[in-house]
Amino acid sequence: MSDPTKEKKLNATFLKKVQKSGDDVKEDSNTDLEALEDVDLSEDIDDSRQDHEIKVLKQKLKELEDTHNLRLKFAWAIFSVVSAWLLAVGIILFFDGFGFSCFSLSENVLITVLTTTTINVIALLIIVANWLFPKGK
């Protein structure tokens, strides 16, 4: 960062020289330019640029961490739904297969339940896998 006392001295020197007569200002302008050339603003710009880049990288890191945590939560939620769904279908098949308490489904209903369940589970898992592991940006 720039030195505030050095800037104040330069400003004061410049104002004093401006207040002098026109000839004096012309003669001393080379001195002002030399004094201004001594001030290195490139370091300030580099520091500001680096600070900005650090802030941007920290923000990107936070976004990635938040996305990762969110994906983990949703992956477990979808896994739980799929597991419960498959468990329910297994119980239906078990009750129908052993004929508990007059539980009987027609063959067409069983085929429909198994087919739709299989398709839905596979589709859900493909969607989740594509969401968790995108192909690239």
Q: What is the residue-wise DSSP string for 47-79?
A: HHHHHHHHHHHHHHHHHHHHHHHHHHHHHHHHH
Q: Of 130, 121, 26, which is closest to residue 79 (Cα–Cα)?
A: 121
Q: Is the pLDDT of residue 97 over 50?
A: yes
- Give pLDDT tens digits for 99-124: 777 777 888 988 998 899 889 888 98
Q: pTM value? A: 0.52
128 confidence band (pLDDT: 50, 70, 90): confident
- Give pLDDT tens digits for 5-52: 666 665 566 655 555 545 444 555 555 556 555 656 666 778 888 889
Q: Is the pLDDT of residue 61 over 70?
A: yes
Mean pLDDT over 64-77 rounds to 88
Rounded CA separation 32/118 (Å): 82
